[in-house]
Structure 1
Amino acid sequence: MSDTINRFIFDNTDVRGEHVRLEKSYRDILSIHHYPPGVANLLGEFLAAASLLSATIKFEGSLILQVRGNGEVPLIMAEANSERELRAIARDANEAMSLDFKTLIGNGQLAMTIHPKNGKPYQGIVSLNGASLAACLEAYFEQSEQLSTRIWLCADANSAAGLMLQELPSKAPDKDRWQHVTAIADTIQNDELLALDADVLLYRLYHQDAVRLFDAKPLIARCQCSRERVEKALVSIGQTELNDIIEEQGKVETNCEFCNRLYQFTPSDIAAMFNQNTTITRH
């Protein structure tokens, strides 16, 4: 099954895992923006990673992975929410030609931000010292969560996938068991991760271990933009600047950078945003 995430655990241990495969949702996101191959693949890894990480948190809201760097891609981000809806974007990346992570990202920071539906956002930041997104995320957990975590990510033109293993807090952690399951996972090939369903992949890796696989949960590409959110963004610009746009163009138009949906606002719409009943005089 594509576009699903599966949780699994190793019986009688404190190790859990998540497996994700994205096909249609990944291609739907890529169809909105025509990225170079290296950027598209990296965006797929971000989508897989955001899906894996959001599945480990019991909350209502969204999780955002974002990197700002000085490489060929100034900004790249992916978002997954508690409804298992995904979106992602890379800005100013159309000229990026590299397939190398460090060349694409350069020096900068990786931020993971959790936006609860009710409550204050939480953000953790780690430097981009790793040679891959997976390595940077593992460093984040080592630094911020102090949980042993291993992540495998890959993507091609048609699909993206990821696998995560995490050692849960325990008074007596079994380090030999942890080394065993991670060493086996290190043998996985990208084509296996991209092509195999969770049950097949886990059997191939751990047929001699007691692994319990939970039901798959669907993932979908769906933007969380709304007219209300766009209105809040426009208010932050200021009424004077918006009125100047209306005088010049007769209305305010803006597209969602994620899904490219067009939002239009009339002079009366703009006035209502600022609780005024004034009219705009066009010259």
Structure 2
Amino acid sequence: MSDFDKLHRFLFTQANVRGELVRLDESLKNIVHSYEYPVQIQTLLSEMAAATSLLTATLKFKGEISLQIQSKGPVSYAVLNATHEQTLRGVARWDETLETLPDTFSELLTQAVLVITITPDEGERYQGVVALDKPSLAECIEGYFAQSEQLATSVHLMTDMSDPKNAKASGVLLQVLPTDASATDVSQANEFAHISKLTETLTKEEMFSLSVEDILYRLYHQEDVEMYPAKDVTFACSCSKERSAEALRHVEKSELHAIIAEEGAIKMNCQYCHAEYRFDSIDVEAIHNGNFDVSSSNQ
């Protein structure tokens, strides 16, 4: 059985460091092939997907994380959403007038920021912003943790775009566990640095060809590592006709009827999965009367 599209969590029991490893394959297809993306944007979205999966695993509650890039460069916007159940979806916008796109992260995204939004199912939403002023997404995420969480964190992201129809992405996250007294302990810092250095020796070929067990043994066979059950990672979109109807409820009814008179129906398309939801005049009346039922909708 393949251990792609699974998130693996592990713990260095003697070092007070936790780790995560994710490899994505099938779960990427509906993201990177949802539009005719150039390979540079497929690579960016693949890295973001791996990173978002890793960050979602840090949640201690039910909810979701969104990684959103805003840029004045060739890529103007990119977003990846993930839930605590490891469902992913994402989309990007770029300057389609350009014949070619730069290959480097820094050139693709200029004057850019990364907005990380954490939305629990219950409780207040948290949002952090970090400048994308480092050579890679991984380094920028490390900077986010240093700035906001003040926890030593190491992030490694890789992609394999050799098969245009089968993009692959992977990521490893290492993080010091917070403790009551030793958060700044020198020995703990040394242990974390040692484990991080070991992780840096992993090659792309090893990452995408070996089993997860072999990868962990190859890197950490001299460490005491405890593994936890893997969690499946899938593509899933949270759009629905009910959510679309709720959005229409905030639009003037007369404006909605005018659209229907001109176009025959209101059509709402999901930018993530391309699902189309249609609403007629009967639907509009039901929405604004507060008794819309998707099962009885005419469209």
User: TM class by shorter-chain length?
Assistant: over 0.9
Instruction: Determine if the alignment matches structure 1 residue 152 to structure 2 residue 156.
Output: yes
CA distance in 2: counterparts of 1:177 and 1:93, whole angstroms: 45
Show the counterpart of 1:119.
123
Show the counterpart of 2:269.
255
- Alignment CA distance shift 1:91-1:234 (3 Å): farther
TM-score, normalization: structure 1? 0.93
CA distance in 1: counterparts of 2:44 and 2:207, whole angstroms: 16
TM-score, normalization: structure 2? 0.88
SS in structure 1 opposite 2:106?
helix
Please say if residues 30 and 273 of structure 2, whose CA atoms lie closer than 8 Å, have aligned partners that are also in contact: no
Instruction: Determine if the alignment matches structure 1 residue 5 to structure 2 residue 14.
Output: no
- Alignment CA distance shift 1:275-1:175 (3 Å): same
Show the counterpart of 1:37.
39
Instruction: Determine if the alignment matches structure 1 residue 208 to structure 2 residue 212.
Output: no
Match of 2:237 among 223, 230, 242: 223
CA distance in 2: counterparts of 1:199 and 1:144, whole angstroms: 32
CA offset at residue 237 of structure 1? 4.1
SS in structure 2 opposite 1:70?
coil
CA distances 1:110-129 after superposition (whole Å, capped 9, x unpaired): 11111111222111111111
CA offset at residue 193 of structure 1? 2.5
SS in structure 2 opposite 1:119?
coil
Residues 1-283 of structure 1 mapped to structure 2, 5 A cutoff: 1-92=3-94, 94=96, 95=98, 97-157=101-161, 158-170=167-179, 171-172=181-182, 173=185, 174-275=188-289
Please say if residues 63 and 118 of structure 2, whose CA atoms lie closer than 8 Å, have aligned partners that are also in contact: yes
Where do 4+ consecutive residues of structure 1 move more than 4 Å? 93-96
Please say if residues 60 and 117 of structure 1, whose CA atoms lie closer than 8 Å, have aligned partners that are also in contact: yes
- Between 146-155 and 236-245, report the one with greater CA deviation: 236-245
Identity score, percent: 39
CA distance in 2: counterparts of 1:194 and 1:225, whole angstroms: 32
- Between 60-69 and 22-31, report the one with greater CA deviation: 22-31
SS in structure 1 opposite 2:144?
helix
Letter in 2 for 1:254: M
Please say if residues 31 and 45 of structure 2, whose CA atoms lie closer than 8 Å, have aligned partners that are also in contact: no
Structure 2 segments unaligned to the other structure (5+ residues)? 162-166, 292-299
Cα-Cα RMSD: 1.7
CA distance in 1: counterparts of 2:111 and 2:159, whole angstroms: 22
CA distance in 2: counterparts of 1:194 and 1:238, whole angstroms: 52
Structure 1 segments unaligned to the other structure (5+ residues)? 278-283
